[in-house]
Amino acid sequence: MSEFSFNEQALRELAAQVIEVARREGATACEADISESVGKNISVRLSEVETIEYNHDKGVGVTVYLGQRKGHASSSDFSPKAMEDTVRAALAIARHTAEDDCAGLPAADRLATQFPDLDLYHPCAMSVEEAIEIAKECEAAGQAVDPRINNSEGAGVYLSASRFVFANSLGFIGSSSMSRHSLSATLIAEDEEGMQRDYWHDSARSWLDMKTPAEVGRIAGERTVRRLGARRVKTGEYPVLFEAPVASSLIGHWISAVSGGSLFRKASFLTDSIGQAVFAPCVSIYEDPFVLRGLASSTFDAEGVAVSARELVRDGVQQGYFLSSYSARKLGMQSTGNAGGPHNLIVPATATFAQLLAELGTGLLVTEMMGHGINQVTGDYSRGAAGFWVENGVIQYPVEEITIAGNLRDMYRNIVGIGDDALSSSSRKVGSILIGKMTVAGE
């Protein structure tokens, strides 16, 4: 991994300079976000190198307030003149912006004061040559699964590290360094009925926490081959089991629906839902920003507000929202430390995957979804899907070219169980989700 050009102390000094310039130029309040990132991306296809990409980026973002008028500007130039020009540009925007009575910095007593080490920084010194060999090994392991895997969309290694400093004119300054690495493979198999593709990937803060290239490739190969011979199913209402990689999207729709922007705009099917039974009683959801090496771990949010571990859903009942300072003011509430989004979410399991299959009985196991047919206001849900037909709890054959439909309100309340197969490579720790009934459109 390439070295950073600036150490953390240098970034902190730059942030302090931005705040000072903003004060001198007349800003009543200011925020500065300064970051630097380095990385490389290596991909191979059919054992030949496809891409070798390096990135080394840096940037400063400045948000200023003139009373309750807000302006923002950014630059990739860290020179003193560029910093001053960026502040002046933000101020010029603020002068032409209408006042907003909810605009402004967070309350000073909400800002983080403790910064425990969450073990997020594990830069990888892997050379390009080593990365190429790892990608080749991963792809080859997938191809070796079955002779019907006769093509590939490639395998790739991505290594990255970043550091940032956030400061504001209330005296807050916080910084963090972090890394994230990933490995993936996408393969194509063919038989007399046609071609199918599938993939697998892994991601972690430390390369040492990743699955081996052989494991990632093997899983990608197995997932690809099992899709051969896919057919359609008859239209009807069936129980649907969302495999863990796609089940996470169901939690994603809930996150959007209970996030501040959707709530204060009344553009959510879950407005005023605190205290309401949103999910089935078997569902609880927790947020834990302090998971060591967690992919969404942090000690403060994008505004410097302190984060906290909390219960968001208890036995199906909504307990809290995801709010920034601005959205909280709009709603007459307090910031939850979620400017920039949620932190690690955990949905405790209620059963094994095998138990959920048995509970499913006869119905659909969904392993891939296509399209974005989600109405955030009404909760209406309709997406293309592929997966497997299940009878008596046993997978029978792959299916494709189907659509699954319902309403998220009903889907959440009809959740039968949560699997214990949550992926380590996601910041949403949720396993497979079984829903009691949905409309499946096929033949």
What pLDDT, in 10s, does the model give residues 354-391? 999 999 999 999 999 998 889 999 999 999 999 999 99
* Distance (Å) of CA 158 to CA 4, 35, 42, 82, 203: 17, 19, 6, 32, 9
Tell me: pLDDT of 1 over 50. no
- Mean pLDDT (whole number) for 296-313: 97
What is the full DSSP assignment across 66-95? ETTEEEEEEES--SHHHHHHHHHHHHHHHH
Q: Is pLDDT of 108 > 80?
A: yes
What's the predicted TM-score (pTM) here?
0.94
Look at residues 322, 21, 333 and name the one whose alpha carbon lies nearest to residue 167. 21
Q: What pLDDT does residue 20 have?
A: 96
pLDDT score, position 39: 96
- Tell me what pLDDT residue 193 has: 87
Tens-place pLDDT, residues 250-295: 999 999 999 999 999 999 999 999 999 999 999 999 999 999 999 9
8-225: in CATH 3.20.20.70: no
Instruction: Report residue 308's pLDDT band, with 50, 70 and 90 as the boundaries.
Output: very high
pLDDT at 418: 98
Question: What mean pLDDT comes out for the span 88-114?
Answer: 96
Where do the CATH 3.30.2290.10 domains begin and end in the chain?
8-225
Q: Which helix (H) or strand (E) holds 227?
A: none
End-to-end Cα separation, the chain, in angstroms? 52
- Tens of pLDDT, residue by residue over 48-92, are 999 999 999 999 999 999 999 999 999 999 999 999 999 999 999
Residue 388 burial class via C-beta count within 10 angstroms: exposed 0-12, middle 13-18, buried 19 and up: buried
- Do β-strands 236-242 and 363-374 pair in parallel, antiparallel, or remain unpaired? parallel
Residue 127 is encoded by which pair of tokens?
């050379």
Six token digits for residue 312 = 């968001």
- The arithmetic mean of pLDDT across residues 4-24, rounded, is 95
Q: Is 41 left (phi over 0), alpha (psi -120 to 50) or beta?
A: beta
Look at residue 2 and tell me whether its pLDDT is greater than 70: no
pLDDT one-digit tens code per residue, 133-155: 999 999 999 999 999 999 999 99
User: In the prediction, which pLDDT does 371 show?
Assistant: 87
**What one-character DSSP code corresponds to residue 199?**
E
Work out the mean pLDDT of the chain and round it to a whole number: 96
- Please give the pLDDT value at position 3: 78
Residue among 128, 161, 203, 180 nearest 58 (CA) = 161
190 pLDDT band (50/70/90 cuts)?
Answer: very high
Counting residues of the chain whose pLDDT is more than 90, the rounded percentage is: 97
Residue 443: pLDDT over 90? no
Length of the chain equals 443
pLDDT (tens digit per residue) in 323-349: 999 999 999 999 999 999 999 999 999
Taking each helix axis from N to C end, the angle separating 213-225 and 128-143, rounded to the nearest 10 degrees, works out to: 30
